Amino acid sequence: MGNTIVTSILSMAGLGFFFASLLAFVNQKLAVKEDPKIGKIEEALPGINCGACGYTSCHLYAEALAKGEANPAECKAGGDSVSGLLSGILGVAVEKRTKQIALVHCGADGSVRKKKAVYFGINTCAAANNVSGGENLCGYSCFGYGDCMRVCPFGAIEMKDALPRIDKEKCTACGKCVLACPRDIITVEKIAAKNFIFVTCNNPERGPDTRKACSVGCIACGLCQKFTGGVFHVENNLALVKYDNMARISNTEEVRGKCPTKCIARL
Amino acid sequence: MIANLVLIFIAATITQNFVLTYFLGVCPFIGVSRKIEHALGMGAATTFVMTLAAMVTWLIYHLVLMRFGLPFLQYVAFIIVIASLVQIVEMFIRKTSPTLYRALGIYLPLITTNCAILGLTLFMVLREYTFLESVIFGLGAGAGFTLALVIMAGIREELECCDIPKPLEGAGITLIIAGFLALSFMGFGGLISR
């Protein structure tokens, strides 16, 4: 009896000691030397793995930064505060970037939108788009099922009257919503001026056709082109904007007032 | 001899599937069966650890515990073996293949406390398998675990688009489906008669 107690204690202690020393040995032998910078950089990064920097995860971006292969200004999600932290860790200067924001190029909310059919199905824009282009009369309009809202890692998108509203403080221009929208309604643009206006329509059909499909669509009348001195220009029956020249427009409210279908919005 | 090994493999994979017959390892079965890709990763990692654990615990049991007449210590000894083994495997993968580490990394610590592994080693002792039989048993059990996980992940991927009653969403419906799967796996019971 006493013998069993002794052998069991000894063998368990031996086994424990054996595995402990094996683990210690292996830990020494197979230690992975990681640049201590990587850990620091990763802490500074937002860690949401949005992929806007071109790397699949924040960890990979941190590795590339530590090696000096990546630009510390690439982290769009973190914005200037993170770039500042990164430049501190890496010891390099980071130039300031112009604020970027996602813009929704459709202004037809649930009350205005005309329908050609009633859609019953999975409540996502991607699914609705697959069923003969969805229920809306306009083939370029927002579905309003909020795929962009669900994909936004920052909670910057809110659905109101079946249209996405983008919170300009929370939006980091990561571009996830641009990819999620099956209709390519959302774009990411530089906010180059204080009074920023943009066109809330994406319909390239001829004026009368657009008007039939939607009461707030761009009918390509060209009035905005005249009043902005070419910053807005009509191309393919749609008003496009040279966002870099936005500061040249003296009175943005006047331009908005001139638009007959009221499809120019303020940020 | 070979027929016996094949039998052990098939038994461990299908007729006596660890998850669907013995209900071992149900935690990762529910937790990591959302996507086929992750299910495959978890399955591969578990198969690997199961085979290794079967080898090492067989050696420990027969060379240490039996020699000193201490078979009652098998639980403690096996847990030590499995835990340290998983640690070593994790370190080894981290050193040799960072890509594989990133793919399996999160699953490896989960396996340490996976009861399917301890179950495997205890069955191995109970059924008095030889060394080779134990290795095949470990491989088969791992393959069976992977099979169950992948089937479940496939069903759950389809389930994402289904209209499930609110109280049954998530784990509830998963357990019900696990029950159905177990029932259908019972049909394989006649495959091997022993």
A107 and A76 assigned to the same domain: no
Chain B nearest-CA distance from A156, in A, is: 25
Q: Is residue B7 part of a domain?
A: no
Q: Is residue A176 part of a domain?
A: yes
pLDDT tens digits for B78-109? 988 888 888 888 888 777 777 777 766 667 77
Mean pLDDT value across residues A188-211: 86
Using CA coordinates, name the residue in chain B closest to A24. Answer: B88
More confident residue, A244 or A219: A219
Q: Say if residue B184's pLDDT is above 70.
A: yes
Mean pLDDT value across residues B142-161: 91
Residue B95: its chain A contacts at CB < 8 A?
30-32
Q: What is the CATH number of the domain that holds A248?
A: 3.30.70.20
Q: How confident is the model at residue A94 (pLDDT cuts 50, 70, 90)?
A: low
Partner residue opposite B95 with nearest CB, options A15, A19, A32: A32
Residue that is last in its domain, among A189, A223, A245: A189
pLDDT tens digits for A113-125? 888 888 888 888 9
The predicted pLDDT at position B104 comes to 65
Q: Say if residue A30's pLDDT is above 80.
A: no
A62 and A142 assigned to the same domain: no
Residue A126: its chain B contacts at CB < 8 A?
none
A82 and A159 assigned to the same domain: no
Q: Is residue A210 part of a domain?
A: yes
Q: Is residue B14 part of a domain?
A: no
Residue B57: its chain A contacts at CB < 8 A?
none
Q: Is residue B12 part of a domain?
A: no
Q: Is residue B10 part of a domain?
A: no
Q: Is residue A159 part of a domain?
A: yes
One-character DSSP codes across B45-67: HHHHHHHHHHHHHHHHIIIIITT
Q: Is residue A1 part of a domain?
A: no
Q: Is residue B122 part of a domain?
A: yes
Residue B68: its chain A contacts at CB < 8 A?
7-8, 11
The answer to ipTM > 0.85 is no
A81 and A128 assigned to the same domain: no
Q: Which of B60-64, B86-90, B180-184 has the lowest mean pLDDT?
A: B86-90
- The pLDDT mean for chain A works out to 85
What is the C-alpha separation between A147 and A127, in angstroms, rounded?
Answer: 10
Using CA coordinates, name the residue in chain A closest to B96. Answer: A30
Range of the domain at A247: 192-267
Q: Which amino acid is at A99?
A: K
What is the C-alpha separation between A147 and A120, in angstroms, rounded?
Answer: 17
Q: Say if residue A64's pLDDT is above 90.
A: no
**Selected residue of B75, B95, B100 to mutate for chain A interface (largest A Cβ count, 10 A):** B95
> 């824009």: which residue's tokens?
A125
Q: Is residue A112 part of a domain?
A: yes
Question: What domain count does chain A have?
Answer: 3
Mean pLDDT value across residues B27-51: 84
A179 and A250 assigned to the same domain: no
Range of the domain at B95: 24-191
The predicted pLDDT at position B106 comes to 65
Q: Is residue B91 part of a domain?
A: yes
pLDDT tens digits for A128-176? 888 888 888 888 899 999 999 999 888 899 998 889 999 888 888 888 8
Q: Is residue A72 part of a domain?
A: yes
Q: Is residue A223 part of a domain?
A: yes
Q: What is the CATH number of the domain that holds A55?
A: 1.10.15.40
Mean pLDDT value across residues A199-214: 88
Question: What domain count does chain B have?
Answer: 1
The predicted pLDDT at position A96 comes to 65
What is the C-alpha separation between B176 and B170, in angstroms, rounded?
Answer: 11
Q: Say if residue A95's pLDDT is above 70.
A: no
